[in-house]
Amino acid sequence: MTELFSVQGILALLLGGLYGAIFGAIPGLTATLAIALFIPIAFFLDPAIALPAIIAISSVAIFAGDVGSTVARIPGTPASAAYFDKLFGLSRKEGPLYALGLSAIGSAVGGIIGSLLLILTASAIVTLARQFSSFEYFWIAVLGLTAGVFASGGSTLKSLVSLLLGILFSTVGVDPTLGFPRFNFGSTQLMGGLNYIVAMIGLFGFSEVLNHLFNPGRHFDVELKTQRSARAFFIKPLLLIVKKKWLVIRSSLVGVLVGFLPGAGADIGSWVSTSLEKIRQRGKSDDVADDEIILSGTSSNNAAVASAWIPALSLGLPGDTVTAIVLGVFMMKGISPGPLLFDQQPGLIMSLYLTFIISNLLLLPFYGYLSALMAKRLIKTPMPLLLTVVTALCMVGAYAINNDVRDIWIMGGMGMLAFLLQRGGFPLAQVVLGMVLGPILEQNFMVSAIKSKWNMMSFFDRPVALILMACTLIIIVVGVRYGKRFTAGSDGS
Amino acid sequence: MKSKVLSWFFLIAILWAAASGCNNPGDANGDNFPTRPITLLVPWAAGGMTDLSSRALAAVLQKHIGASVNVINRTGGGGVIGHLALSQAKPDGYTIGAVTVEITMLHNMGLTDLTYQDYTPLGLVVDNAASVTVRADAPYNNIDDLIQAIKMNPGDIQASGTARGAIWDLARIGFLTAAGLLDTDMPWVPSQGAAPALQELLAGGVDVVTASMSEVDALRQAGQVKTLAVMADERLKKFPNVPTLKENGIDWQSSGWVSVCAPKNLPENIKLKLEAGIKAAMDDEEFISALNTAGSNIRPLQGQELLDFIKSQHEKNEEAMGLAGLKQG
Amino acid sequence: MEKGKTINILTSTFVLLIGILVFIFSRQFPVLPEGHPGPGLFPSVLGGFLILAGVLLLISAFRPRAINDTASFEKGNWRIVLLMLAVIVVFPFLQQFLGFLPALAIAILIVGLLMRLRIVKAILVTLLTTAFIYLIFNQILHVPL
């Protein structure tokens, strides 16, 4: 508790936030990469410094993933890929400050709701989370993928194809449940699989480079609106949030509820809630709908960041890379995570909670504003200059994930694929979603099937699993039924 | 036009200078080793047991060897990628790496041709024995209860812990064989690792987890699970109340271990320096306390002893995998 | 409109082909003991879905009032795109001889020229970007470059 307010603690928060903001904000570098590259450093730091820094990085970086979308249509996280088109459109229509303000303030509010729920209901959520077996995780993955299909503005069929391609990419490499190498065509490098961060850098970053080279001036048609900064960034989004408070609360709840899914909580939260809003908004005018879709995605992904910590802290079971590092830091410093943590280290838990609140309440708006001002400048940079730098960052970013130069080829191949997919009218974000959720879907299916000795009825036996299945069915029915009207109502680009 | 030529010239000059700056002054026979940072490759993801012990070792090793030691994770392919990268590195001492128990198993599954003979072993770091762990409210209180229950309804009690054919699956197969049971009497439910398997155990999806003591310890302390036996020769110092399988008349040991190795053909003088550095690091109080809190069992072995240990593991695991029909070709 | 139709027919045939290939490939994966489906199950289901999606796409492409959602295949410079890809293909080989940073500097310079930056500007960007990458990735984040 006290160490949080020491000079080092505050410095850790500030520097962590800055690092997250810079990495997320530069197109071509992803927020996911920022967290992955921080791992080695976290182990050398004192936990009183490392933990606040990690919380600050993950809270700010999840938001900062939106900055790239605003500047150059390059989202920085799979979560922000759910609505990057809308955000780019909004920033061209209303200016980058308003677009990022909506994203930052929405993230902050969602993050605070998520943190409060973490604090108040951690024990209840733990009980729920403990009931989750592979059947429930399987259905959550199905729900996330279904939401992904209907979250596209264009053809549902094409969006399904993109999703299937993503899942197909995720099957490359050694099969995680049975240990059999698939689709590696004799290559040892491919045996390790295709990394989704590398793919994302290629799909979004490098493909923009190719687009520009192919046909310069493709994105240069909109005149930028100038605006009073503080008002656009803080006041206007806040007013919208107050007006749409139920939407924000609803989306944050979705984020918290799916947040503890190992590996993809924040991503699924963002996709499910944007898809929910898109279906709800059908028929309304475009501008309003865009604002609200961004708001729902951005608030639910930051709410999920908090709830991803629940299983890690309370059961000692890490769900994703970030929480795995956190547990590693704990152990290196002689703190054993798990249910006893709450009794043995109340001070530590309190300071973690506090860090979550501070990160969302102060750091996010602060760094959000800074990166929005930076984005405002970046957006005026001539495209050829910006994209030259983006190319370099794409290459280094792809390499840095595994320290393997051959990953640069994969990045380039994904960029070319994206270039072609876009020309056929296929959405890109769904490819990333497929790559993230594919392994979760398959593993939990195989585990469930083997566990129940291939009795398929067991997938429908458990109450929570049934509820999740019902949600999936509702999305399918509503999505298909209103699919036509929905396509006509949006810009479909 | 002139300025263009000039700029090219300058650029090439700068690049050339940069390129030559990257080459280090030669130290052909390694007498001055180390003169630059050492890289330690880890074939598993950050946050796991191998990663944690490697990082703890690296942090202390750099003090004793006089050069910084950077840990790099090269993950994927069930450990193949990282192990392969180490075996292909230059044997100059500047690239060393964690080599784990999987090196005795991967070639049996036909994933790679690599074996322990592709490395120069420098030191064993940790050796964590497998356990037989069940939910706290399970009806069995010792290993005999469990075996009776398995015999009553073969195939009904299921175990988990890793992917199929990976280390804790092997621990299960050896345990069943030594107890006179069949592979199918307590079938394996594959999982991504110990953490998801324990989640399944809590949710009632599986009945037994054979992960290591250090991995189940957090939930054990919390009273959520109980450990019936540990698959070691003798009781572990850290867990004196947990009986061994041997005490119950089942002759089987299984453990997941992490060693530090260099590529093969490492020059002798560099090998001696690295071995001395690792020995000093493993005696360091800082390293010992870091691993103790992580619940890991430190087991320093070097030289011929280490080679014999890896060789015996190689033969034992090959036999166990053959029994389970996991061995390819 | 005509062009959009051609692209749609082309892409849907392609999707269909990938689906068939994936399906055939995954049939060759081993099965679990007792004949249960193994590593091939998931890919073959994927292949099936791709085939289905390909067929449906093909049908909708031939429908008279198909929506044209393909980016109208604008005229563009294919040669420069291929040059850019060549840089990516060559880079990993180049860095073996020159080291990562010098090779990266050369790559950035070429990209800058492909982007039609003026040579002085391109060199400036090259130097600044390389320095930035060295500082952040190598010095701060300890990525071996």
Provide, as residue numbers in chain B, all residues whose Cβ is less than 8 Å from the Cβ of C127.
14
Mean pLDDT of A288-317: 81
Residues B157/B162/B165/B170 CA torsion (nearest 10 deg)? -70
Put simply, the answer to whether B18 touches C102 (Cβ < 8 Å) is yes
Q: Across the interface, do C46 and A164 touch by the CB < 8 Å criterion?
A: yes
How far away is chain B from the Cα of A245, in angstroms, using its nearest Cα?
A: 35
CA terminus-to-terminus distance, chain C = 49
Averaged pLDDT, A3-8? 70
pLDDT at B1: 44
Q: A47-72 and A346-358 helices cross at what angle (nearest 10)?
A: 20
Residues of chain C with C-beta less than 8 angstroms from the C-beta of A40: 141-142
Classify strands B159-160 and B131-135 as parallel, antiparallel or unpaired.
unpaired
Average pLDDT over residues A6-17: 84
Residue in this structure with the two tokens 């180049």, named with its chain if needed: C94
Q: How far is A242 from chain C (nearest CA, A)?
A: 37
Residue of A nearest to B82 (CA): A192
Whole-number pLDDT of residue A490:
37
Residue A217 has pLDDT above 70, yes or no: no
Q: Mean pLDDT score of chain A, rounded to an integer? A: 81
Out of C99, C109, C142, closest to residue B11 by CB: C109
* Run of H or E residues at B41: strand B38-42
pLDDT value of residue A336:
67
Q: Per-domain residue ranges for chain C?
A: 2-62, 78-140
Question: How far apart are the C-alpha atoms of A228 and A237, rounded to whole Å?
Answer: 14
Residue A383 makes CB contacts below 8 A (sequence gap 6+) with A212, A216, A219, A220
SS3 B212: strand
Residue C101 near residue C137 (C-beta atoms within 8 A): no
Q: What is the pLDDT of residue C92?
A: 93
How many residues appear in chain A?
A: 493
Interface test with chain B among A45, A325, A326, A402, by most B beta carbons within 10 Å: A402
Contacts of A487 in chain C (CB under 8 A): 67
Select the residue of A174, A325, A339 nearest B222 (Cβ to Cβ). A339
* Residue found under tokens 């749409």: A244
For A395, which of C32, C76, C91 is closest by C-beta distance? C91
Q: Which two tokens stand for residue C142?
A: 């300890």
Provide the shortest C-alpha distance from residue C15 to chain B (in Å).
Answer: 28
Residue of C nearest to B20 (CA): C98
Q: Looking at A225-234, B231-240, B270-279, C15-24, which range is the least confident one?
A: A225-234
What is the count of residue pairs from A and B with beta carbons less than 8 Å apart?
A: 161
Cβ distance of A325 and B46 shorter than 8 Å: yes
Show residues of chain B in contact with C99, CB under 8 Å: 18-19, 22
Mutation choice for B interface testing from C119, C120, C137 by most B CBs within 10 A: C119
Residue of A nearest to B291 (CA): A332
Domains and CATH numbers, chain B: 38-128+256-323 (3.40.190.150), 131-248 (3.40.190.10)
List chain B residues with CB under 8 Å of C144: 39, 70, 72
Q: How many angstroms separate the CA atoms of A70 and A25, rounded?
A: 9
**pLDDT at position A218:** 56
For the residues A5-28, what does the mean pLDDT come to? 82
Q: Would you call B4 an interface residue with chain C, using a CB distance cutoff of 8 Å?
A: yes
For residue A485, is pLDDT > 70?
no
pLDDT at A486: 41
Cβ–Cβ contacts within 10 Å for residue B280, how many?
15
**How does residue C88 score in pLDDT terms, banded at 50, 70 and 90?**
very high
Dihedral (C-alpha) C69, C70, C75, C78: value to the nearest 10 degrees? 160
Burial A128-150 (b: 16+ CB within 10 A, else e): ebbebbbbbbbbbbbbbbbbbbb
pLDDT tens sequence across C89-108: 999 999 988 989 999 999 99
Distance (Å, whole) CA A36 – CA C97: 28
The DSSP symbol for B244 reads B
- Determine contact: C81 vs chain B, CB below 8 A: no
Query: Greater confidence, A315 or B181?
Result: B181
Looking at per-residue pLDDT, the higher value among B307 and C77 belongs to B307
Q: Which residues contact residue A382 at a Cβ distance below 8 angstroms, ignoring those fewer than 6 apart?
A: none
Task: Choose among A213, A407, A409, A386: nearest CA to C87.
Answer: A409
Q: What is the crossing angle of helices A47-72 and A364-378, to 10°?
A: 40
In 3D, which of B107, B92, B151 has the Cα closest to residue B315? B107
Select the more confidently predicted residue: A345 or B25.
Answer: A345
- Residues of chain B positioned with their CB less than 8 A from the CB of C101: 18, 22
Q: What is the pLDDT of residue B207?
A: 94
Residues 381-400 of A with CB under 8 A from C: 384-385, 387-389, 391-393, 395-396, 399-400
- From residue C2, give the alpha-carbon distance in Å to each of A37, A493, C13, C73, C75: 48, 19, 17, 11, 15
Q: How many CA atoms lie within 13 A of A332 on its CB side?
A: 31
B77 and A450 within 8 Å at the Cβ level: the answer is no
3-state secondary structure B312-324: HHHHHHHHHHHHC
Strand, helix or coil for residue A162: helix
Out of A318, A332, A403, name the one closest to residue B195 (CB): A318
Confidence of residue C113 (pLDDT cuts 50, 70, 90): very high
pTM: 0.85
Report d(CA A347, CA A355) in Å as an integer: 12
If contacts are CB pairs under 8 Å, which of residues 52-91 in chain A contact chain B?
Answer: none
Q: A with C: how many residue pairs have Cβ under 8 Å apart?
A: 168
Question: Does position A449 have pLDDT exceeding 80, yes or no?
Answer: yes
Cis ω for the linkage preceding B34 (within 30 of 0): yes
Cβ-defined contact of C102 to B15 (cutoff 8 Å) = yes
Domain boundaries, chain A: 3-489
A318 interaction partners in chain B (CB closer than 8 Å) = 47, 195
Q: Is A339 on the interface with B (CB under 8 A)?
A: yes
Q: B325 to chain C: which residues are within 8 Å by CB?
A: 33
Alpha-carbon distance of B222 to B311, in angstroms, equals 38
pLDDT, position B95: 92
Mean pLDDT of A207-231: 71
Greater confidence (C87 vs A119) lies with C87
Query: C99 and B19 in contact by Cβ < 8 A?
Result: yes
DSSP secondary structure string, B92-144? SSSEEEEEEGGGGTGGGGTS-S--GGGEEEEEEEEEEEBEEEEETT-S--SHH
Residues of chain B below pLDDT 70: 1-29, 47, 329
Q: Is A328 on the interface with B (CB under 8 A)?
A: yes
Does the CB of A156 have a partner CB in chain B at under 8 Å? no
Q: How far apart are CA A265 and CA A285, in angstroms?
A: 31
Say what the pLDDT of residue A221 is: 47
pLDDT higher at A408 or A422: A408
Q: Do B205 and A133 touch (CB under 8 A)?
A: yes
Tokens representing B163 are: 């992917």
Give residue for tokens 């991504």: B192
> Are A338 and B222 a contacting pair at CB < 8 A?
yes
Put simply, the answer to whether B289 touches A334 (Cβ < 8 Å) is yes
* Polymer length in residues for chain B: 329
What is the predicted pLDDT for the residue at C102? 93
Q: How far apart are CA C80 and CA C88, in angstroms?
A: 13
Measuring CA to CA, how many Å separate C68 from each of A312, A492, A493, C65?
48, 10, 11, 9
- Any bridge partners for residue B221, and if so which? none
Is the pLDDT assigned to residue A331 strictly greater than 90?
no
Residues 146-175 of A with CB under 8 A from C: 154-155, 157-158, 160-161, 164-165, 167-168, 171, 175
User: Is A252 a residue whose pLDDT tops 60?
Assistant: yes
The tens digit of pLDDT for each residue in A366-386 reads 988 888 888 888 888 888 898
Neighbours of chain B (3+ CB pairs under 8 A): A, C
pLDDT of residue A171: 92
Residue A31, CA atoms < 13 Å, CB-side half-sphere: 33
Q: Token pair of B316, please?
A: 């034992």
CA atoms within 13 A on the CB side of A225: 15
A173 contacts B190? CB cut-off 8 A: no
